Structure 1
Amino acid sequence: MAILDSLIPFTGRLGNIIAYKRNGKHCLRTVPETVRQTANTRRAAKTFGAASRKGALVRNAIRPHLDIFPDRALVNRLNSYILDAGRNNHAGLKGFRFNGYTGLSKYFGLPPVFTKDGRLHIPPQCFQRFKKAVRMEIKVIASRIDFSTRTITGTDTAVLSIDLNERFQDFDGGDLWVNVPGKGTLVVALQVKQFFDDFDIRDRKCEAADIIAVVEDQPKQLVNISSNPHRHLSYPPRTIIHKPVPAQNGLPVIQRE
C-alpha cells in the first residue's frame, strides 16, 4: 500500500493501479494479476455483497434525515453488524448506532418504546444537560424498506423539543407519532441532540442516533368463505313398523332365506 501525496488526489482504477481513501488518507495499490477463489471465498464474497446492499438501503433510508455527522467507519460498521446478525435477520438491525462514539443509553435512563401502531412513547424521567445546552431535540425517523425489491417505499419523521432549564431536567413523558403505510420492513431510528441558544452542539459525544425498532410487514390473512356451506339438518325420528310373524300350530315360523 502506498500513500498518495499530490495536489490532485483521485479515487478509482487507472490501469493496474487502484486509488482509494482510507482513514482520511489517499492510498494506492496494484491490481493482482490472477485471483484464485475457492468455494469458501466465493461464498464469503456473495454473503458480503448481500450485506453491503442491505446496508446501503438502510443508509439511504435513514441517513438523509439525520442531523448528526456519523463517524467515518459507518459503512464498515453497518456491514459488520448485518453480517453478525445474519443475512435475513432484519430484526438484528436493532441497536445499531449511526454515531459510533455515543448511544441513546447516555440520554435515556428509561428507554423509549415503539409500538406497531406508529407511536413512540418516552417514559417520564430526568434528562441531563451537557455543557451549557438550553434545549434538547428528540427526533424519530421511520422508513419502510422492501428488501426483496431493494426499494424504499416511504419515510416519516416527528420531532419533540424539550427546554433544559436545570442541570437535571425533569420530563413528564410524551409521545411521538409516525405513519408510513406500504409494503416492507419498518426501520425506526431515534436521534437526540442538544442545542445552545441558536445552534446545536457539534460534539460527537453529545449527539446520538440509534435504530430502536424493526417492524416486519404482516401479510394479510385470507378468509376462506365457502359458497355452499354444509348445513346441519335435523330429521324427524323414523317410525318403526312391526310386521306380524306368521305362525303354524301356535308356534312361530322361522323363515329361511
Structure 2
Amino acid sequence: MATQNSPIRFTGKLGNLIGYRRHGKYYLRSMPEVVRQTRATRRAALRFGTASKKGALIRNAFYNELDVRSDSTHVNRLTKALIPSAGNNTKSITGFRFNQHAGTDRFFARPVRLSADGILHIPAQTLPAFRDINMLEVKVIATRINFTTHQVIDTQSDVLIIDTREPFNGASFPVDVPGKGTLIVTLQIRGMKDNILSGNRKYLAADIVEVQPPQTLKVFHKPTYLQHHIPGGTSVTTNAHCLPLIIQRE
C-alpha cells in the first residue's frame, strides 16, 4: 500500500494501479495478476450482481415520484437487503427506508395494510404532536416491476394532506397497478408547518411498506379414469395415474 502524494489524486483503476481513499488519505495498490475465485465466491458474486440489478430497477421506478431525498447509504442498503435470497424474494425489502434517519412509524403508530382488492389502508389513529409541524403530506407511490424482463411496467401516486390537530379517521389509497410483475408500494411522509414543508430530515420519511410478488396460478390436473371388465362380472374403475380407486360389482 503506497500513499498518493502528487497534487492530482485519483480513485479507481488506472492501468494496473488502483487508487482508493481511506480516512481522508489517498492510497495506491497494484492489481493482482491472477484472480482466483472459489465456487462460493462465484455464487456470492452472482447473488450480488442479481441483487444489484434489481435494486437499480427499484430505485429507477421511484426516482421521479420520491420527494424525500435518499441518504447516501440507500444504494448499498437496498442491495444488501436483496442479497440473501439472490434477489428472488423481494418481500425481504418490506420496511426498507430510503431515508434511514426517519421512518413512517414516527407518524403512524398503527401500520398500513394492503387488502386483497388492491387498496392500501392507513387505519384511524391518534397522530403524534410535534412542536415544529402541524400537518402531514402523505404520498403513496405504487409501482409494478417485471424483474424477469427487467422492466418497470407502471408507477402511480396519490397525495393526501392531513392536519394533525384534527382527529384522523384513516385513509385509503388504490394501488392496484395493472400488469405482470411485482407490486411495490412506498409510503412517503413530509412534515409541514402551516402548509410550508419542513426541511428537517427527521420529518421526512419514505418506506417500502408492501411488496406483493407476482401471483402464481395453481394448476389442477383433471383425473382420467379407466374402467376395466374382469371375469366374474366385476368392473374396476381406476385412475390413469394411480392404483384402483373404486370397485363396483354388477
Tell me whether the two structures share a fold, i.e. TM-score over 0.5: yes
Q: Which residue of 2 aligns with 1:100?
A: 100
Note the alpha carbon deviations across 1:34-57, whole angstroms, 9 max, x for none: 222222212211111111111111
Structure 1 segment 219-238 matched on structure 2, within 5 A? 219=216
Equivalent-residue separation in structure 2 for 1:15 and 1:70 (angstroms): 34
Q: Which residue of 1 aligns with 2:36?
A: 36
Identity of aligned residues (%): 43
Note the alpha carbon deviations across 1:96-116, whole angstroms, 9 max, x for none: 111112212211121111224
Equivalent-residue separation in structure 2 for 1:19 and 1:36 (angstroms): 21
State the 1:129 CA deviation: 3.5
Structure 1 position 199 matched with structure 2 position 196 = yes
List alignment gaps of at least 5 residues for structure 2. 223-250
Cα 1:5–1:213 change in 2 (3 A) is: farther
- 1:192–1:207 CA contact under 8 A, matched in 2: yes
Q: Which residue of 2 aligns with 1:87?
A: 87
Which of 164, 175, 180 in structure 1 is aligned with 2:177?
A: 180
Equivalent-residue separation in structure 1 for 2:64 and 2:7 (angstroms): 31
Equivalent-residue separation in structure 2 for 1:177 and 1:26 (angstroms): 51
Give the 3-state SS of the residue equivalent to 1:125 in structure 2. Answer: coil
How many equivalent residue pairs?
222
- 1:159–1:176 CA contact under 8 A, matched in 2: no
Note the alpha carbon deviations across 1:131-162, whole angstroms, 9 max, x for none: 33232011111110111111111100011111
Structure 1 position 210 matched with structure 2 position 210 = no
Structure 1 segment 146-161 matched on structure 2, within 5 A? 146-161=146-161
State the 1:191 CA deviation: 0.8
Cα 1:161–1:45 change in 2 (3 A) is: same
Bigger fraction of residues in strand:
2
**Paired AA for residue 176 in structure 1:** F
- 2:18–2:31 CA contact under 8 A, matched in 1: no
Equivalent-residue separation in structure 2 for 1:171 and 1:2 (angstroms): 61
Cα 1:180–1:20 change in 2 (3 A) is: farther
List alignment gaps of at least 5 residues for structure 1. 226-257
Q: Which residue of 2 aligns with 1:119?
A: 119
Equivalent-residue separation in structure 1 for 2:2 and 2:173 (angstroms): 50
State the 1:184 CA deviation: 0.5
Q: Which residue of 2 aligns with 1:231?
A: none
Equivalent-residue separation in structure 2 for 1:195 and 1:5 (angstroms): 49
Equivalent-residue separation in structure 2 for 1:151 and 1:20 (angstroms): 34
Cα 1:152–1:7 change in 2 (3 A) is: farther
Cα 1:182–1:170 change in 2 (3 A) is: same
Of structures 1 and 2, the larger Rg is shown by 1
Cα 1:195–1:8 change in 2 (3 A) is: farther
Q: Which residue of 2 aligns with 1:248?
A: none
Note the alpha carbon deviations across 1:188-246, whole angstroms, 9 max, x for none: 11111111245321222112111111112224678999xxxxxxxxxxxxxxxxxxxxx
**Two-structure CA RMSD over aligned residues (Å):** 3.2
Give the 3-state SS of the residue equivalent to 2:81 in structure 1. Answer: helix
**Paired AA for residue 203 in structure 2:** C
- 1:86–1:92 CA contact under 8 A, matched in 2: no
**TM-score, scaled to structure 1:** 0.74
State the 1:14 CA deviation: 2.6
- 2:17–2:31 CA contact under 8 A, matched in 1: no
Give the 3-state SS of the residue equivalent to 1:42 in structure 2. Answer: helix
**TM-score, scaled to structure 2:** 0.76
Give the 3-state SS of the residue equivalent to 2:101 in structure 1. Answer: coil
- 1:184–1:217 CA contact under 8 A, matched in 2: yes
State the 1:29 CA deviation: 4.3
Q: Which stretch of structure 1 is more off in the superposition, 27-36 or 176-185?
A: 27-36
Give the 3-state SS of the residue equivalent to 1:176 in structure 2. Answer: strand
Cα 1:110–1:7 change in 2 (3 A) is: farther
